[in-house]
């Protein structure tokens, strides 16, 4: 790789890593090419990307960014999973891939400004997905008007029940 290629790679990686809300650094020692291809295809379905990177170039790309604390983890064989718009979906896919393939090991992860270890990265997968959060938000937004409507309708409904009970008592007394 000549200097121009390295400079382009550094800028590309800086942009890609900088925009990603979730990063997962994996050690892939002993993983076959077929298994690596399966990992790539699985994370692509979640809108993420898996790449094997050059450590020194990634350390340079991370300099001056909010993710510079990850630089210490770029040693040896390293693969980086870069999430797309939904970091939780990426974390869930990665957790299932790590369970299927014991050769893949988590070195570190980056989520919400923090460097995470393997257990914390696994905990990210337990968070609700974007769709679940949007559903909860929608249910919360719908609940308030529904409750206001119930309060407005309550006096009329209660009066109707009272009149129906009074009418049934009059019918019973008349029989």
Please give the full DSSP string across 31-80, using - where no structure is assigned: --HHHHHHHHHHHHHTT-EEEE--HHHHHHHHTTSTTGGGGGG--SS-EE
Using DSSP's 3-state secondary structure scheme, residue 94 falls into: helix
Burial class (CB in 10 A: 0-12, 13-18, 19+), 122: middle
pLDDT of residue 153: 86
Over residues 100-114, mean pLDDT: 85
pTM, two decimals, is 0.70
Is residue 175's pLDDT more than 70?
no
The pLDDT tens digits for 10-48 are 888 888 888 888 888 888 888 888 888 888 898 898 888
Which residues are registered as beta bridge partners of 79?
26, 52
Assess whether pLDDT exceeds 80 at residue 170.
yes
Residue 145, CB half-sphere, CA atoms under 13 Å: how many?
4
In the three-class reduction of DSSP (H, G, I as helix; E, B as strand; rest coil), residue 24 is classed as strand
| Residue 24 contacts residue 94 (beta carbons within 8 Å) | yes
Number of H helices, E strands in the chain: 6, 5
CA max distance for the chain: 104
């Amino acid at each position: 790789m000549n200097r121009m290629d390295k400079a382009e790679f550094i800028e590309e990686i800086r942009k890609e890593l900088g925009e990603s809300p979730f990063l997962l650094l994996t050690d892939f020692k002993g993983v076959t090419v077929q298994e690596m291809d399966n990992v790539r295809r699985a994370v692509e379905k979640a809108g993420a990307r898996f790449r094997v990177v050059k450590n020194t170039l990634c350390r340079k790309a991370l300099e001056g960014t909010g993710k510079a604390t990850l630089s210490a983890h770029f040693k040896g064989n390293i693969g980086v999973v870069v999430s797309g718009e939904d970091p939780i979906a990426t974390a869930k896919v990665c957790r299932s891939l790590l369970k299927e393939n014991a050769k893949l090991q988590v070195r570190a992860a980056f989520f919400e400004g923090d460097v995470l270890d393997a257990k914390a990265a696994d905990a990210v997968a337990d968070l609700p997905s974007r769709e679940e959060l949007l559903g909860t938000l929608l249910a919360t937004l719908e609940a308030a008007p529904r409750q206001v409507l119930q309060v407005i309708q309550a006096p009329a409904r209660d009066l109707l029940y009272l009149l129906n009970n009074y009418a049934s008592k009059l019918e019973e007394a008349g029989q």
